[in-house]
Structure 1
Amino acid sequence: MIIFSILFALIGLALLLGGVWLITLGGSLYYAIAGVVLLAVGVLIKKNRCAARLLYAAFLVGTLIWSIYESGFDWWPLATRMGMFLILTIPLFISTGTKGKGGNKLLLPIWGATAAITLITLIVPDSSTVSGTLSNETVSANPDTGDVPADSWLSYGRSNLGQRYSPLTQITPDNVETLEQAWQYRTGDLKGPKDVGETTYEATPLKIGNALYICTPHNWVVALDADTGEKLWVYNAKVPAESQRQHQTCRGVSYLPPAGLSTSESIVAVKASRPAENMPSMQCDAQLFLPTSDARLIAIDPETGARCSNFANDGELDLMHNMPFKQAGYYYSTSPPLVAGGVVIVAGSVNDNYAVNAPSGVIRAYDVKTGELKWNWDSGHPDDTAPIGEGEVYATSSPNSWSTASADPALGLAYFPMGNRTPDQLGMYRTPAEEKYATSVVALSLETGQVEWVQQFIHHDLWDMDTPAQPSLLDLDTDSGVQPALVVPTKQGDVYVLNRATGEPIFPITEKPAPQGTIPGDFSSPTQPESALNFKPEPLTEAKMWGATPLDQLMCRIQFKSLKYDGQYTPPSTQGTLVYPGNFGVFNWGSIAVDPKRQVMFGMPLYLAFTSKLIPKEGAALGETNTGEQGVNENAGADYAVQMGPFLSPLGVPCQQPPWGFVAGADLRTGKIEWMHKNGTVEDLSPIPVPIKMGVPGIGGPVITEGGVVFMAAAVDDYLRAYNLTDGEQLWEARLPAGGQATPMTYLNSKGEQMVVIVAGGHGSIGTTIGDYVVAYKLKPNQE
């Protein structure tokens, strides 16, 4: 009994000390009280007295009442509050001695009551779930889906409209369960020992003719036979390792069709006789454009993989030209460029929080055939779009556009999701022009680069809430008639629906009061915009802190009460600020998918809190700096470094209670969220691989098919899943050989069979399984 006595005493002491700490921060009294009780039980156990059982039974009753008061009948919050304490009844059951044997009977009703409560939690509807259905009616019989043949996938979002919608109908909710793997290919490009942490497979393949084109993290372009997955050729851009990059990834390549043909007419890829990087350069008719992580843009022949000698310098364009600062690894493109209106438009990523003086976030348009600079739009000098002169430089560290752009050729406009100026948490370095265009969507003329309109989503962004997602374009039925719409989700949870010709909101945007209180020399906006269609969560409270046991729940509560948090948009601080939704975003680069016929959307909202802390440099021992998007980054030239990361318990799980990830469907005509369900399991997160559906985080995107099926991987368990678009029901899943942190696509092969393809290579910074796979699925024979 001494061991059990010590066990209760140690747990009680930990709860008492932590509970007193929590009380000094203004937190709950429960943990200190629990600590006192468990210390007393530990003393009484030693004497094997019935009083130990009586006291512990009363404690369990009190804990059960407190747990229901705080968490209601939600399973996970209730189970983790009670679980450890119920396990601790075992020593009391098995204790021996002449005194107090009957006390065991006191514990049986507690187990029974807890079992009853557990059953109730399984019956009572999950408060996080929204059940409903999207209309399945055809609103627009012949919607604009881009100039793309039905069997193809010609740009990142299938077309420059960025819809991630395919008109294919072979796969339906009735037959999707018969999907099986058709082929698998391994690229051979794996994460190396000198790679940065965020080395990721995020590519969406293109399907042109009967070939697939995929880029890998180290900027290889792989051409595969669309029927069999057989390699046709590989082009290796030979990108050197660079420790100062924040990302080592490639989300896709872009395509220019042959001269005289529209994008609806395509080429047929043929096998190369030798590795593509050894092919001599050649004059190209059609072209693929590959952005690289060492800041080049390479034009490649789709048939052979040879560089296009007609473009720039023997097929290569140096994107560091005219940059004000040229630190290695600070600037590069991770997303495919936009090919439209006779130009290839390149934006880029500028490292967050590495330096005040960094490369520019300029957006540049080059002639698609020659590489000649046609215009440049720099948010630091937004009115001067004429090609920059020799010896001139772009604005320092101006807001960049690291995600994917969209275009409407009929309007002659390109739409760029804009990020922020580095340093992201320090606003005192920004010019009025940079303030205007940061964290927004900006519409630029394809011909001149001049601004047509801008809609900002955060004023004076101090939270790294870059607009992360490609806008989706569709024609939307509204009370005012059909409007050309642009739909773009944000990290903060808003989904903005705008008229893409004018930038005017279709769904109302209102200004909401925002928390104040910044470091000296900075300010925060008194209000922030909010869209009528949004997936914003309720603010966090101490009661929503979570953990596997009451001990790490207590530590999360202490962290929560120690951080500065006044709700969303609490300014950064030297105390440490809770950022919720966090930098990971409610939505990220995976964006949403829209159905232009039904005029509905499918998305994957996520809810993870982050923390940020400003570190005054004077006298500070920063240790290793510039650690990527998480950890400490030095902000060279600024008075403060910044430390950022997810808000986790000592066991490495999120401090806020689950669920953390959902799938959701909304009607774009009404702005109503019709359904929202937990998504994904903890199978690949927990030591024991049990597929418990908790609703987990993820990063990646969905694709909608006209057949009414949505495909998406993204979650941190290694599965590709199919969902019913109408009600969100999961219809099918397939185990992937690695993390599926990419957006799938679908096409018809040469036999007329609908294929679904996903790149599965994992994501270095979120810890999913690393690999180098491309996996294709199709229906079993005679299932169409």
Structure 2
Amino acid sequence: MRLMLSTLLVWMPLLHAAPFEWTAYGGDGRGLRHAPLSQITPRNVGNLELAWSFRTGELGQGFDRAKEALTFEATPLLTGDTLYFNTATGKVFALDAAKGIQRWQFDAQVDRKRDYSEMATRGVSYWRDAQTTAGTACAERILFATIDARLFAIDAKTGKRCADFGTNGEVVLSKNVRLIERQLGNYQVTSPPAIAGDVAVVGSAIGDNRGTDLELGVVRAFDVRSGKELWHWDPIPRTAKVPKDAADPDFGEIEDQQAHWTGAANAWAPFAVDAERGLVFIPTGSASPDFFGGERPGDDHWADSLVALRAATGEFVWGRQLVHHDLWDYDTASQPMLVDLDQGGAKVAAVVQLTKTGQVFVFNREDGEPLFPIEERAVPQDVVAGETPWPTQPFSSLPPLVSHAPVKPDDAWGLSFWDRNACRAKIAALHSEGIFTPPSLAGTIQRPGYAGGSNWGGGAWDPQRQLLIANVMDLPFVVALLPRDKLGEEYDSGNYKGWEFARMTGTPYAMRRKLLDSPLGIPCTPPPWGKLVAVDLAHGRIAWSKALGTTRDKAPWPFWSIEGAPNMGGPLTTAGGLIFIGATTDNFLRAFDTASGAEVWKMRIPAGAQATPMSYEIGGRQYVVVAAGGHAKLDTTRGDYVLAFALPASHTETP
């Protein structure tokens, strides 16, 4: 009897525990992308089957740039028994989580005639009003932002606008941001708002490399009930010659020109929220333009930084700049991750930041002190006229997840002798001194390229094993500056097929960039070009690293088996000891054993899954859900699918 009573006491908290809900982009505000569910394990994952699929019908109809820019990057939310997600085209869907049947749909009526620089959205946010009786209209709200820069609040139960929020349920975000080229779609929002109590915090996505005086990269906070703006914070200070004794002494003094004209430094990645400490963590991007900084002298604080603000007031608490005077488009593109780190026998409240440089930075959440040392190292200084690079860059003592080495002719790779020789000649003609080599007129090899390292997919956390899981790219790109008077001539010459050009108005130079690839379109450096890496943060080391994906769906049949494909998206970890990830350019969803990194399952799917999966349990059955719609810039198979996988009912187990 005593044994039975003690056992019951142990299990009572679990019996009364609230069911797990996925209420924010990263699972919750902390951005861990971890589901504490263990029904699916390495032992039974091979039995996973498609439980249901849903099609949005949204393939970019009516959008001029859908073929070049459309993606489906959303991670659904789960509250109660309902899934919520949105599309880049401005539609929000609510589905029955067990059956995949639509409950309602909302259409924001996004302007389809604008020339959007990005056509992406990563999800929606959820808020429950603690001051209102359950069942009241808009007591539960879905908040989301659109690529035409509007913030919406709609009723989670019905999909109808919350009329008390802004003007009939929406707030226009393109006001007071120095909007340039109003008719175009270069000021957008692509990540969901961060919910901190009754505050929604929103950043922006600004079209890169158009010029120096772009839109302002302000971060703004709105009252979730009324839509009233509560505060805003600009990463670039707008008062020239900020004195050393200002509220934020780290700004130092800045040039008049930078204060008045530098734009961007916008925070376009998802944010993270520490509810206990009342902090919101903001990853900021590069100041404009990305590849020439002569018109923005200095280190450009607080561009390319991780910044902690008071969620209620916008007060600056601390910041750490991770790239000084960015010349490489090395935005801080990943959501910060708020982990409880085992260090020296104690739990430390930490924030982990993955970067496009492939580095991992870890800080104390309260004061920003590095938990793994950071060293300022001298970096290459060969620059074009008018540029003054920052002499050093921060390097984490944690091992980098991608190569930082120079690319030399002997590194050339190809599918044939002819292909390899062509790459060798290309590399020999370009400038490469390793990471942070400044752009040049002859052309500079950038490795990792401006797409990462780590990008918006971010990482996932396994709290039991203290493992950070990250998918990374290790691709070489070429960036070349050209005198402004040569822009038209080169663009019209027909000699630069496949190159992206940018005007960078306000500087002496324009820019072109491209993947460093062979005549067959294969990267000129050896695979793997994409990896899944586990970082043991308890011991500061790489636990394992595996090639991720294959060249299937991108290369002709004889070459399907090359391992390590480019990828875009993120991983999910579960308490069952699994990692789920799509992301790759081949059309598969995969599962890996968290402890060993072994691939233990994969499923062929109808389109590219360039999104981050999520998981939940309902009706005694664990589901893994992913959006599969492809990615225009990765040129993966297009689609409009949301796919849910689960064990057959006869195979489900209660741990």
Alignment correspondent of 1:700: 569
Query: Separation in 2 of the partners of 1:237 and 1:384?
Result: 40
Question: How has the CA–CA distance of structure 1 residues 673 and 420 changed in structure 2, closer, same or farther, with 3 Å as cutoff?
Answer: same
Match of 2:189 among 304, 308, 333: 333
Partner of residue 160, structure 2? 306
Instruction: Tell me whether 1:404 sits opposite 2:260 in the alignment.
Output: no
Instruction: Give 1 or 2: higher helix fraction.
Output: 1
Q: Is the Cα contact below 8 Å between 1:746 and 1:755 reproduced in 2?
A: yes
Matched, 1:465 2:297: no
**Does the 8 Å contact 2:216/2:264 carry over to 1?**
yes
TM-score normalised by structure 2 residue count = 0.89
Q: Deviations over 1:652-701 (max 9, x none)?
A: 11011111111111211111101111121111111227641421110100
Once residues 617 and 560 of structure 1 are traced to their aligned partners in structure 2, the CA distance between those partners, rounded to angstroms, is 25
* 2:209 pairs with 1:353: yes
Q: Is the 8 A contact 2:408 2:428 kept in 1?
A: no
Q: 1:611 aligns to what?
A: 478
Per the alignment, residue 431 of structure 2 pairs with 564
Letter aligned with residue 110 of structure 2: V
Distance 2:388 2:260 in 1: 27
Question: Match of 2:117?
Answer: 246
Q: Is the 8 A contact 1:360 1:395 kept in 2?
A: no
Report the CA distance shift for 1:551/1:691 in structure 2 as closer, same or farther (over 3 A): closer
Deviations 1:232-290, CA, capped at 9 Å, x for gaps: 111111112355322101100011113348xxxx989xxxxxxxxxxxxx952211111
| Shift in CA distance, 782/207, structure 1 to aligned 2, threshold 3 Å | same
Q: 1:323, CA displacement in angstroms?
A: 1.9
The 8 Å contact of residues 683 and 689 in structure 1, kept in 2 or not, is answered as no
CA contact (8 A) 2:179 2:187 kept: no
| Matched position secondary structure for 2:144 | strand
Aligned to 1:710: 579
Alignment counterpart, residue 396 of structure 2, candidates 531, 550, 560:
531
Q: Which residue of 2 aligns with 1:366?
A: 222
Of 201, 221, 233, 2:104 maps to: 233
- The 1:566/1:367 distance shift into structure 2, 3 A limit, reads same
- Please, which of 627, 633, 654 is the counterpart of residue 759 of structure 1? 627
Q: 1:218 aligns with which of 89, 96, 109?
A: 89
Higher mean C-alpha deviation, range 757-766 or range 509-518: 509-518
Specify the code of the residue in structure 2 equivalent to 1:447.
Answer: A
Residue 450 of structure 2: which of 555, 574, 583 is its match? 583
Distance change in 2, residues 1:377/1:431 (3 Å): farther
Computing the radius of gyration from Cα coordinates, the structure with the larger value is 1
Q: Which residue of 1 aligns with 2:3?
A: none
2:297 is the alignment partner of 1:437: no
Distance in 2 between the 1:209 and 1:348 partners? Answer: 30
1:768 paired to 2:636: yes
Equivalent-residue separation in structure 1 for 2:344 and 2:553 (angstroms): 46
The residue matched to 2:215 in structure 1 has which SS?
Answer: coil
Does 1:315 pair with 2:169? yes
**Secondary structure of residue in 2 paired with 1:436:** coil
Shift of 1:714: 0.4
Q: Which residue of 1 aligns with 2:608?
A: 739
Q: Which one-letter code corresponds to 1:762 in the other structure?
A: G
The residue type equivalent to 1:168 in the other structure is L
2:344 is equivalent to residue 488 of structure 1: no
Counterpart check, 1:510 vs 2:378: no
In 1, the alpha carbon distance for the partners of 2:237 and 2:206 equals 17
Residue by residue over 1:425-479, the C-alpha shift from the partner in whole angstroms, topping out at 9 and shown as x without a partner, is 11123265x7121111011111211211111111111000001100111111112
Query: 2: CA distance between counterparts of 1:758 and 1:319?
Result: 29
Alignment gaps of 5+ in structure 2 = 1-9, 11-16, 239-245, 249-258
2:422 — aligned with what? 555
In the alignment, the residues of structure 1 paired with residue 261 and residue 224 of structure 2 have an alpha-carbon distance, to the nearest angstrom, of: 25
| Aligned counterparts of 1:395 and 1:289: Cα–Cα separation in 2 | 32
3-state secondary structure, aligned to 1:771? coil
Unpaired stretches in structure 1, ≥5 consecutive residues: 1-140, 142-147, 269-281, 386-392
Secondary structure of the corresponding residue to residue 554 of structure 1: helix
Give the aligned partner of residue 126 of structure 2.
255
C-alpha separation between the residues in 1 aligned to 2:365 and 2:430?
A: 40
- 1:209 is matched with which residue? 80
Which whole-Å CA distance do the structure 2 matches of 1:715 and 1:619 have between them?
A: 37
Residue 283 of structure 2: aligned partner = 417
Paired letter, 2:361? Y
Contact 1:680 1:715 in 2 (8 A): yes
Q: Is the 8 A contact 1:487 1:495 kept in 2?
A: yes
| Identity in percent | 40
- For residue 477 of structure 1, the aligned residue among 326, 333, 342 is 342
Conserved 8 A contact 2:154-2:161? yes
Segment drifting more, 537-546 vs 481-490: 537-546
Q: Secondary structure at the match of 1:605?
A: strand
Cα deviation, 1:152-176, whole Å, max 9, x if unaligned, reads 2100000000000111110111111
Which residue pairs with 1:93 in the alignment?
none
Amino acid in the other structure paired with 1:415: F
Q: Any idea what the Cα deviations from partners look like across 1:190-214, whole Å, max 9, x if unmatched?
A: 0346124121010000011111111
Query: Residues 395 and 341 (structure 1 numbering): CA distance in 2 closer, same or farther, change over 3 Å?
Result: farther
2:599 corresponds to which of 730, 733, 749: 730
* Distance across 2 between alignment mates of 1:630 and 1:637: 22
Contact residue 517 and residue 523 of structure 1 kept, 8 A: no
Distance 1:498 1:326 in 2: 36
Cα distance in 2 for residues equivalent to 1:619 and 1:466: 28
Tell me how far 1:394 sits from its aligned partner. Answer: 9.4
Distance 2:559 2:349 in 1: 46
**Partner residue of 1:574 out of 434, 441, 446:** 441
Secondary structure (helix, strand or coil) at the match of 2:104 reads: strand
Distance 1:247 1:446, change over 3 A: same
Q: Find the aligned partners of 1:727 and 1:394 in 2 and give their Cα distance.
A: 52
1:623 Cα offset (Å) = 3.6
Of 143, 147, 170 in structure 1, the residue corresponding to residue 39 of structure 2 is: 170
Aligned-pair distance for 1:358? 1.6
TM-score under structure 1 length normalisation:
0.75
Query: What is the rounded CA distance, in whole Å, between the counterparts of 2:319 and 2:73 in structure 1?
Result: 28
Aligned counterparts of 1:396 and 1:513: Cα–Cα separation in 2? 26
Structure-2 residue corresponding to 1:674: 543
Residue 65 of structure 2: aligned partner:
195
Letter of the 1:315 partner, please give it. Answer: G
1:396 Cα deviation after fit: 5.2
Q: What is the aligned-residue RMSD (CA, Å)? A: 2.3
User: Alpha-carbon deviations, 1:60-80, whole Å to 9, x = none?
Assistant: xxxxxxxxxxxxxxxxxxxxx
Give the superposition deviation at 1:618. 2.0
TM-aligned CA distance change 1:296 to 1:326, over 3 Å:
farther
The change in CA–CA distance for 1:524 and 1:211 in structure 2 (over 3 A counts) is same
Counterpart CA distance in 2 for 1:573 and 1:322 is 35
Q: Within 1, Cα distance between the matches of 2:499 and 2:344?
A: 45
What is the one-letter code of the residue matched to 2:638?
A: I
Shift of 1:573: 1.1
Q: Deviations over 1:614-634 (max 9, x none)?
A: 121125425479x9x960011
State the partner residue of 1:144.
none
